[in-house]
Structure 1
Amino acid sequence: MGVEELTNPLLAGFWNETRLRSDLVPVPRSAEPPDPGMNPIWMRIAEVLGLGYGERSGSVITKGKTLMRARTTPSAGALYPFEVLVAFRGQGDYLLYHYDAAGCSLRRLAALDPAEVAGLLSPGPGAGPDPLSPGTDGAEGLPDALVAVVARPWLAMRKYGRRGYLYTHLDGAHAATNIALAGADAGLTPVVRLRFDRRALSRVFGLDDLCREPQALVTLTAPAPGTPATGGAPAGSAGRPVNPFAVPIWRHEDGPGLEAPDAPEREAWGLVSPVSTYHQPRPLPLRFGTTASVRPGGTGRSGAPVALAGRDAGPGTSGPAGGPTENFGAVVLGRQSAKGFLAKPLDAGALGRTLAAARGRVAVDCADGPPAGLRLLVRHVDGVPPGAYEYDPEGHRLLPVGGDGGTEEAVVAACMNQGVAADCALLLALHAPVRQLLGERGQQGLAELHFHAASTAQRLCLGAAAEDIGITCLGGFDAGRIAELALLEPEEEVIYVLASGVADENAVKWDRAPIAYSHGYGPGQPGT
Structure 2
Amino acid sequence: MPRTDTTGAISWADVSHPYLPATSSFSAVPEALERVIAQIEFAVGARPGSGKRAAPSAGACYPYEILLAPAGEPVIGVVDLARRRIVIDGAERHRWTGDAYTYFLVGRPWLSMRRYGRRGYLYHLLDVGHALLNLALSVGRDRASWPDSLAAAREYALGHTGVLLGFGTVLADTPRSAQPGWVVHEQSIVDIPVTDLECMIAELVPPPPAPVQVPALPGAGSLAPGLGARRSAIALGTKADQDGLTGAVAEIQRLCERHIPAFDVPVPGITVFSRHPGVGAEPPDRAWLAEALLGQQNLVEASTFLAIHGAIADTGPAALSEAAQRTLIGAGIAGELGYLVAAREGLAVTGVGGFDPGRWAELCGTTDEVLFLLAFGYETASEKWDVASTGGNHSR
Describe the SS at the equivalent of 2:233: coil
Residues 268 and 467 of structure 1, relative CA distance in 2, 3 Å threshold:
same
Equivalent in 205, 216, 221 of residue 166 of structure 2: 216
* Letter matched to residue 250 of structure 1: V
- Cross-structure match for 1:147: 103
- Cross-structure match for 1:165: 121
1:437-487 deviation line (CA, Å, top 9, x unaligned): 999x9722122111111111111101101111111112221101111223x
- Cross-structure match for 2:10: none
1:96–1:111 Cα contact (<8 Å) kept: no
- Cross-structure match for 2:303: 425
Residues 366 and 183 of structure 1, relative CA distance in 2, 3 Å threshold:
closer
* Letter matched to residue 43 of structure 2: G
Instruction: Tell me, in whole angstroms, the C-alpha distance in 2 between the residues paired with 1:73 and 1:262.
Output: 25
Which structure has more relative contact order (CA 8 Å, sep 6+)? It is 2
C-alpha displacement at 1:151, in angstroms?
A: 1.4
* Letter matched to residue 106 of structure 2: V
- Cross-structure match for 1:45: 36
Choose 1 or 2 for highest CA Rg.
Answer: 1
- Cross-structure match for 2:15: none
2:217 pairs with 1:267: no
Equivalent in 357, 368, 374 of residue 479 of structure 1: 357
- Cross-structure match for 1:296: none
Instruction: Tell me, in whole angstroms, the C-alpha distance in 2 between the residues paired with 1:518 and 1:235.
Output: 43
Matches within 5 A, 1:106-255: 106-109=86-89, 144-184=100-140, 189=141, 191=143, 200-204=151-155, 206-220=156-170, 234-236=174-176, 246-247=179-180, 249-251=182-184, 253-254=186-187
Matches within 5 A, 1:109-508: 109=89, 144-184=100-140, 189=141, 191=143, 200-204=151-155, 206-220=156-170, 234-236=174-176, 246-247=179-180, 249-251=182-184, 253-254=186-187, 257-272=190-205, 275-277=206-208, 321-326=217-222, 328-329=224-225, 331-345=226-240, 347=242, 349-353=244-248, 355-360=250-255, 361-362=258-259, 367=264, 369-378=265-274, 380-381=275-276, 383-384=277-278, 387=281, 404-435=282-313, 443-486=321-364, 488-489=365-366, 491-504=367-380, 506-508=381-383
Quote the RMSD (CA, aligned, Å).
Answer: 3.7
Describe the SS at the equivalent of 1:338: coil
Query: Which consecutive unaligned segments of at least 5 residues does structure 2 have?
Result: 1-24, 93-97
Query: Which consecutive unaligned segments of at least 5 residues does structure 1 have?
Result: 1-29, 60-68, 113-141, 224-233, 237-241, 291-319, 388-403, 522-526
Residues 269 and 468 of structure 1, relative CA distance in 2, 3 Å threshold:
same
- Cross-structure match for 1:17: none
2:349–2:375 Cα contact (<8 Å) kept: yes
Instruction: Tell me, in whole angstroms, the C-alpha distance in 1 between the residues paired with 2:127 and 2:234.
Output: 18
Residues 198 and 475 of structure 1, relative CA distance in 2, 3 Å threshold:
farther
Instruction: Tell me, in whole angstroms, the C-alpha distance in 2 between the residues paired with 1:477 and 1:492.
Output: 15
Instruction: Tell me, in whole angstroms, the C-alpha distance in 1 between the residues paired with 2:46 and 2:139.
Output: 17
Question: Is the helix fraction higher in 1 or 2?
Answer: 2
C-alpha displacement at 1:168, in angstroms?
A: 1.4
Q: How many residues are matched?
A: 363
* Letter matched to residue 233 of structure 2: A
Q: Percent identity?
A: 26
TM-score under structure 2 normalisation?
0.79
Instruction: Tell me, in whole angstroms, the C-alpha distance in 1 between the residues paired with 2:149 and 2:200.
Output: 20
Moved more, 339-348 or 408-417: 339-348
Instruction: Tell me, in whole angstroms, the C-alpha distance in 2 between the residues paired with 1:516 and 1:363.
Output: 33
1:159–1:514 Cα contact (<8 Å) kept: no
1:21-49 deviation line (CA, Å, top 9, x unaligned): xxxxxxxxx897xx66222xx34322211
- Cross-structure match for 2:58: 76
C-alpha displacement at 1:426, in angstroms?
A: 1.1
- Cross-structure match for 1:10: none
1:191–1:364 Cα contact (<8 Å) kept: no
Equivalent in 380, 385, 395 of residue 510 of structure 1: 385
Instruction: Tell me, in whole angstroms, the C-alpha distance in 1 between the residues paired with 2:185 and 2:192.
Output: 19
1:349-376 deviation line (CA, Å, top 9, x unaligned): 3341354245344487863x42211111
1:191–1:363 Cα contact (<8 Å) kept: no
2:36 pairs with 1:56: no
C-alpha displacement at 1:412, in angstroms?
A: 2.4
Describe the SS at the equivalent of 2:70: strand
C-alpha displacement at 1:342, in angstroms?
A: 2.3
1:72-94 deviation line (CA, Å, top 9, x unaligned): 011110111111112133xx736
Describe the SS at the equivalent of 1:208: helix
Instruction: Tell me, in whole angstroms, the C-alpha distance in 2 between the residues paired with 1:109 and 1:197.
Output: 16
